[in-house]
Amino acid sequence: MDEQTRLKSGKQAVTIALVVNACLAVVKGVLGYMSGSTVVMADAFNDASDLLVSGAIWGGLVFAYKPPDDEHHYGYGKAEPLVAMLVASVLAATAVGIGFSAYRAIGRPESEAPGWLAVVASLISVAGKESLFRYTLGVGRRIGSSAVVADAWHVRSDVIASLGALVGSIGARIGPVVLDPVSAIFVGILILKAAGEILKDALAQLLDKSPDKEIVDTIEAATRKTDGVQNVHAVRARVSGPHVFVDLIICVDKKSTVEEGHRTSERAKREIMNECRKVKDVSVQVNPCYRSDHDPSLCASCPHAARIAKEAPKRV
């Protein structure tokens, strides 16, 4: 899948999330107000804040796929984690606001149990959000976008929040009225937890987090099967938004010419980028391979050095 196709799919998923969240915010806001449910109103406010989240992710996606230029040689991939940090901040502020309002509602003498419309609103929310979660997660994994995947799990936290709203609304109808604002506080805690997870992932990417082990293994395997590569080591990779940048060392026949070594490195680069579509660029260092000489000092960084030294004949 090329970059433009991934970008188009990501923007489509985020646009659908915008529409769904806008509709749910209006429906739950109206039904929550009519039913007098604090927790459903809190859930509606959360959906409204999700519009900002989706809008920020949409902008971050567009920016992250901008090509490199004279001032940004590695492109703008880190725009995604930067936007994710902004999203986490908005979510944290939303959680604190919801929790504070619910806390003030606890113990009010005028508090009344919410109407059954609150239950209907929560049921609509659970169905809509779960469908949106499954769709967004599928798109995010298919295009390899950490921002879209994070948005999907944020939607899943909304599903849990809506379930909390549902429990609170029903509980307040058949039990103590205080269950409604207490459930609203629970919703706030879930949103705060989601904000923390998004922030953690964003910081990891900004600190040049390595990709999953499966991706690193795929990179190494693709390099080893390249014609002309006798060994590969020092494989390093870092995540930059939707992209992965790779640095590695390959060993080729010591009798190879500079041109032959260059051609081998280009073949290795193509193999890696064909096997792992997320890889944006590969930097290959070409070293001569001295394994046949049984002299590890000639290639001290070679992972086979210890074995070669053990097998080498004793020198007089």
| Size (the chain), residues | 316
pLDDT, one tens digit per residue, over 45-62 is 777 777 877 887 888 888
d(CA 87, CA 61): 13
The residue that leads in pLDDT, 248 or 176, is 248
The CATH code of the domain at 3-206 is 1.20.1510.10
Q: Is the per-residue pLDDT at 81 higher than 70?
A: yes
**pLDDT-wise least confident of 6-15, 66-75, 238-247, 259-268:** 66-75
In one-letter notation, the amino acid at residue 257 is T
Answer whether residue 218 shows pLDDT above 80. Answer: yes
pLDDT, tens only, 125-136: 888 888 988 999
Q: Give the tokens for residue 196.
A: 């923390």
Q: Which two tokens stand for residue 306?
A: 């210890």
Give the span between the Cα atoms of 89 and 99, in whole angstroms: 15
Structure tokens that stand for 90 in this block: 């908005």
Place of tokens 């880190």: 78
Residues 248-290 have pLDDT tens digits of 999 888 888 999 999 999 999 999 998 888 888 999 999 888 6
Which helix (H) or strand (E) covers residue 270, if one does?
A: helix 258-275
Place of tokens 């660029």: 281
Residue ranges matching CATH 3.30.70.1350 in the chain: 213-311
**Please, where in the chain does CATH 1.20.1510.10 lie?**
3-206
| Cα separation, 253 vs 229, whole angstroms | 8
- CATH T-level fold of 213-311: Alpha-Beta Plaits (3.30.70)
pTM, entire model: 0.64
Q: Which two tokens stand for residue 250?
A: 């390959």
- Comparison of pLDDT for 263 and 27, the residue scoring more: 263
